[in-house]
Copies of this chain bind each other. A is one copy, B any other.
Amino acid sequence: MEFTLNEEQQMLKGIARDFLENRCPKAHVRDMLTDEKGYSPELWQDMAELGWQGLMLPEEYGGTGGDFVDMVVLIEEMGRALLPGPFIPTVVYGGVAILQAGTSEKKNELLPRIAQGELSLTLALQESSERFDAEGVAAEAVEKEDHYILSGTKILVPYAHVADYILCVCRSRSSSDAEDGISLFLVDAEGEGISCITRTTFDGRKLCDVKLGEVKVSKANLLGEPHGCWPLVKRLVDHGSVAMCAEAIGGAQMAMEMSISYAKERIQFGRPIGTNQAIKHKCANMFVDVECGRSIMYWAAWAVDEGVPEASLAVPMAKSWCCDTYRRVAADSIQVHGGIGFTWDHDIPLYFKRAKTLEYTFGDCDYQREIVVRELERQLASG
């Protein structure tokens, strides 16, 4: 029983905070709002030198052999700094997928390049059905000799416009069970037939519509078993969801700290505004919500990392609570700051907008709660 950060994790946290305060100040975040790439390749390279892209990769691939909990410690700090860019798509989707399901050739070929900051990857899952389950996957992969032909349209693919490889979730076989017949392909983003329309969220993130127009993909680029990849995809989504929880908690923590400081410093009616319970109790509620979020987020991270059955409940619980928390904390932070918190140049609105984007990614909090109940019903039914 051990539910505290170990020394290495605390060190990682400290280094990450210092580095990001220095290299990813809000001026950088604002610059990236209108940047075409949406991130700084230079900063990306420096992060690789700190070992961040390789944090979860075994040493043989140039990584430092950390686990997903270590990664979550780091991502919490990225959330605090509002770091933009394809870190989660590359490291959490790309890295975990290749590590867990790649052939040893692919591992040897790609993982060291990820660790060195040479590659950017992403996951193309959602389609116009706007569903998050296997039934939403309609993009087709047709087997043909030594390759597959992929067609369909994927939407909301993060940072596909700068990706070297896109992990495409396709239906390679029709079946009465929607979760059967799903394959995962590692697709060269420069390949023929791929076109990409980039959209920008109000917090400066890039989400792309990726059109797969008869894209030819070699069988060597299959990740995992053909037709049987839904569990792997689900695992990737679980990892991604928890990573977003960490971003949310890191961001909420920062918005809360700013609010507490403002509550102490801002004088109205001759005393700090925090002396008013309307402000003080808002801050207290932020604190409770954020700390609770941290508890369930780390629990979910551990459960996903260990692959224990508890993960199926822990992930939607964490996603729902952490995203609710981030939204509430950021909105209340605007209220605590008053008018100044409503201006473009203040940092709080950046957190507020980020909270909304995270909330809607992979299903909002209502959706997560519905998943929680379904899972609990299943557990209670099976005793």
Query: Which A residues fall within an 8 A CB radius of B?
Result: 276-278, 281
Docked pose: A281 CA to B276 CA in angstroms: 11
Docked pose: A185 CA to B173 CA in angstroms: 64
Q: Which residue of B lies closest to A279 (CB)?
A: B277
CB distance from A91 to the nearest CB of B (A): 43
Q: Can you give 5 A-B contacts (C-beta < 8 A)?
A: A276-B277, A277-B277, A277-B278, A277-B281, A278-B281
Q: Which residue of B lies closest to A281 (CB)?
A: B278
The 3 closest A-B pairs by CB, nearest first: A277-B277, A277-B278, A276-B277
Q: Which residue of B lies closest to A276 (CB)?
A: B277
Q: Which residues of B contact A277 (CB under 8 A)?
A: 276-278, 281
CB distance from A366 to the nearest CB of B (A): 15
Docked pose: A281 CA to B278 CA in angstroms: 8
Q: Which residues of B contact A278 (CB under 8 A)?
A: 277, 281
Q: Which residues of B contact A276 (CB under 8 A)?
A: 277
CB distance from A338 to the nearest CB of B (A): 16
Docked pose: A334 CA to B55 CA in angstroms: 53
Docked pose: A333 CA to B276 CA in angstroms: 21
Docked pose: A94 CA to B278 CA in angstroms: 49
Docked pose: A60 CA to B171 CA in angstroms: 79
CB distance from A94 to the nearest CB of B (A): 44
Q: Which residue of B lies closest to A278 (CB)?
A: B277
Docked pose: A277 CA to B269 CA in angstroms: 15
Docked pose: A194 CA to B281 CA in angstroms: 58
Docked pose: A281 CA to B281 CA in angstroms: 12
Q: Which residue of B lies closest to A275 (CB)?
A: B277
Q: Which residues of B contact A281 (CB under 8 A)?
A: 277-278
Docked pose: A111 CA to B276 CA in angstroms: 59
Docked pose: A73 CA to B235 CA in angstroms: 62
CB distance from A8 to the nearest CB of B (A): 43
Docked pose: A225 CA to B200 CA in angstroms: 65
CB distance from A212 to the nearest CB of B (A): 39
CB distance from A283 to the nearest CB of B (A): 13
Docked pose: A286 CA to B5 CA in angstroms: 45
CB distance from A271 to the nearest CB of B (A): 13
CB distance from A281 to the nearest CB of B (A): 6
Q: Which residue of B lies closest to A277 (CB)?
A: B277
Docked pose: A134 CA to B281 CA in angstroms: 48
CB distance from A269 to the nearest CB of B (A): 13
Docked pose: A277 CA to B273 CA in angstroms: 12
CB distance from A285 to the nearest CB of B (A): 12
CB distance from A101 to the nearest CB of B (A): 45
